[in-house]
Amino acid sequence: VQLVESGGGLVQAGGSLRLSCAASGLTFRSYAMGWFRQAPGQEREFLATISWSGGTTYYADSVKGRFTISRDNAKNTVYLQMNNLKPADTAVYYCASALDGSAYYTSQFYNYWGQGNQVTASS
């Protein structure tokens, strides 16, 4: 299984970025997907999750209303649209595939991870 993230970078506070995560080596449409991030010196933080069909999504309070998770099962890709970015959003962002099709809040239910993608929001 391989998860490859793209779309990170440097943006000014208030700006937007869209992360993509292309999956291979698994039956993508059968599994929920999630996005997490980790800032220096901090624990990995859950951001958003989406069920296998896209019908269920959950968000952390810290990003609710600013970030949107979506998926395209025909392209084996999950996305994270990030709007109104803040300096506190600066971190390495990871996508992950879940153990099954249900949407989960915590990292223990995810078994494959991408390599990480740096997002920096400058003030």
Helix, strand, coil % (nearest 5) of the chain? 5, 50, 40
d(CA 4, CA 21): 5
Query: What is the tens place of the pLDDT at every residue in 71-101?
Result: 999 999 999 999 999 999 999 999 999 999 9
**What's the CA gap between 94 and 24, in Å, rounded?**
16
* Mean pLDDT score of the chain: 97
pLDDT of 73 reads: 98
Phi, psi of 53 (to 5 degrees): -90, -15
Residue-wise pLDDT tens digits, 39-77: 999 999 999 999 999 999 999 999 999 999 999 999 999
